[in-house]
Amino acid sequence: MRLAVAVTAVAAITGFPAAMAAPAGNAARGEALYERCFACHSLENDRAGPRHCGLLGRRAGSVPGFDYSPAMRASGIVWNAATLDRFLAAPTAVVPGTSMGYAGIASAQERADLIAYLSAARCPA
């Protein structure tokens, strides 16, 4: 019931119909989905893409020592659930010139699950 109330409130505030509100994410499903990201990313280490520990709340293009595209460094994005959702849906449309050569995740539910996982992930000390 709380979710229905929250969805209705978001719809009223944003003007989007309740059906358009973002689905609730499931971190356990998101952890399984994150395996798709392993070729380029990890939580702890930079790979072809930057590490994801501490992603939410971080300015795009700001991990020290990682060689970002000029487009990502200049994007002005601060990663939160909404900005990450938009980016994961269509990376090259959101940041034209990004070096992230990934078509995106079409499923809103999968994006929500992945974001829930990244939000809950704890960085090693």
Boundaries of every domain in the chain: 24-120
Handedness of CA 114, 116, 119, 121 (dihedral sign): negative
The pair of structure tokens assigned to 20 is 């358009």
CA distances from 98 to 13, 59, 65 (A): 32, 15, 17
Region 24-120: CATH code: 1.10.760.10
Split at pLDDT 50, 70, 90, the class of 11 is very low
Reference 68, options 82, 81, 50; nearest CA is 50
What is the pTM (predicted TM-score) of this model? 0.80
Are the CB atoms for 26 and 115 separated by under 8 Å?
no
Tens digits of per-residue pLDDT, 107-118?
A: 999 999 999 999
pLDDT score at 39? 93
Are the CB atoms for 91 and 104 separated by under 8 Å?
yes
DSSP state of 59: B
Tens digits of per-residue pLDDT, 28-70?
A: 999 999 999 999 999 999 999 999 999 999 999 999 999 999 9
